[in-house]
Amino acid sequence: MGSKKEIKEIKEIKEIEGGVCAAAGFKASGVRCGIKGPSSSKRDLALIYSERPCAAAGVFTANRVKAASVLVCMERVAGGAVRAVAANSGNANACTGAAGLEAARRMTETAAEKLGIPAQEVAVASTGVIGVPLPDFSVIAAGIGKAAEELDVRGNRNALEAIMTTDTAMKEGAREIEIHGKTVRLGGMAKGAGMIHPNMGTMLCFITTDAAITRPLLDKAFRQGVNRSFNRITVDGDMSTNDTALIMANGAAGNRLLDAEDGAFALFALALEGLCAGLAKQIAQDGEGASRLVTVTVEGAASEEDAAAFAKAAASSNLVKAACFGADANWGRVLAALGRAGPPFDPACVGIAFSGGGMQVQVCEAGAGLPFSEHDAKAALSHKEIGIEITLGRGPGSAAVWGCDLTYEYVRINGDYRS
């Protein structure tokens, strides 16, 4: 339970519509240019643009193998002034050598030319099949030109569609808060269904805000939000080459500049973290082949970091995930997963419960099994959203991680991903 101050702040955060176009001064578009192949009718190139200069921050994959788009995007974000993003689906532009790197840079340069801004203010992102060269650049250039022409304050859904791969649902959200008497909005969109694991996963996330905030504080708030959201989801244990999470703040709200870690900044950071968490849960829920969203919560760890490590270990265990698919209350698999998480703990103090549909069934206490109704446990675990609650009795640390079950459909999807 949060403090009274935290609860008051949460009430001041309002969910709104609009995705990346919710914040003032931002436009977006999504077009089909043929990256997904001549036979595909799907949009495959998105553009997000701020009419005003922006402060920007980003977080990228921890994989040592990084896509060309990630390398170029990291360069652009290091400058701190990104105000536009060109993103494509259908091709990861990863492991494509010097040609891939040149193509990523040309994407930023082409978008910059169409928008009338410096190339250093344009970021790039890609998602799709690894190791395949992008099509002839003339195709991409034409798509970027079309996307620039179609930029619109209601273009969020078209842009979101253009970055989807195996996603089965659109993932977006927006928040509204008041800072210094001004209405401040934050909006975001994300894609991701497979290659999802803590330290980000095959995901793209773009967040916009009209808050006036210094880049150092924007970076701090964003890293905290990412750490407590996108770094706490897992689908299949594979870490992508292309993970990119980017935020742009253009100051159009007109609030006094957030330049100190005061109450106004705390509210902004809380709203940003909530937006990131909402998008992260949508990714976990749409995991490839998934039939259940699994929330693993850990309480009583020595620290928040330890709690997150334990929750990640349980949520990413294929045996635990398979048990969730079968609605099998196999609590021993959960306890075994905790043992490989890394941080020390006393197995004799562990408690485990399964929940779903408003039911909670305690199955383990003091590290040993309890008599419980298999019927009730199966009923709880048969819901679309289920929980695994773990107590360690060691300290004040707590954390939640979101994952999904492991189904036959996951194997089918990834068995013929390229074809």
Sign of dihedral through CA atoms 228, 234, 240, 244? negative
What is the arithmetic mean of pLDDT over 295-323? 95
More confident residue, 409 or 225: 225
What is the arithmetic mean of pLDDT over 290-319? 94
Domains of the chain: 4-285 (3.60.70.12), 293-415 (3.10.20.340)
Q: Where are the beta strands (DSSP E) in 135-181?
A: 171-179
* Mean pLDDT rounded to a whole number for the chain: 91
> Among candidates 161, 17, 10, which has minimal Cα distance to 90?
161
Told to judge if 202 belongs to the known catalytic residues of this protein, a careful annotator would answer: yes
Sequential DSSP letters for 184-234 = EEEEEEEE-SSS--SS--S-EEEEEE---B-HHHHHHHHHHHHHTTGGGB-
Helix axes 263-285, 215-227, angle to 10 degrees: 40
Sorting pLDDT into bands at 50, 70 and 90, what band is 414?
Answer: low
Provide the Cα torsion 209, 215, 216, 221; round to 10°: 10
Sorting pLDDT into bands at 50, 70 and 90, what band is 239?
Answer: low
β partners of residue 206? 189, 246
Res 240 pLDDT > 80: no
- In the block, tokens 């978008």 appear at 111
> Among candidates 371, 329, 336, which has minimal Cα distance to 350?
336
What is the arithmetic mean of pLDDT over 110-131? 95
Task: Identify the pLDDT of residue 235.
Answer: 61
Res 346 pLDDT > 80: yes
Task: Identify the pLDDT of residue 99.
Answer: 96
Res 384 pLDDT > 60: yes
State how far the Cα of 145 lies from the Cα of 328, in Å rounded to an integer.
53
Catalytic residue among 166, 202, 208, 295: 202
Query: Is residue 234 within 8 Å of residue 197, measured between CB atoms?
Result: yes
Task: Identify the pLDDT of residue 195.
Answer: 45
Count of beta carbons in the 10 Å neighbourhood of residue 384 = 11
Structure tokens at 215: 């880049």
What are phi and psi for residue 202, nearest 5 degrees? Answer: -60, 75
What is the arithmetic mean of pLDDT over 207-218? 98
Sorting pLDDT into bands at 50, 70 and 90, what band is 192?
Answer: confident
pTM, two decimals, is: 0.84
In tens, the pLDDT along 138-187 reads 999 999 999 999 999 999 999 999 999 878 889 999 999 999 999 999 99
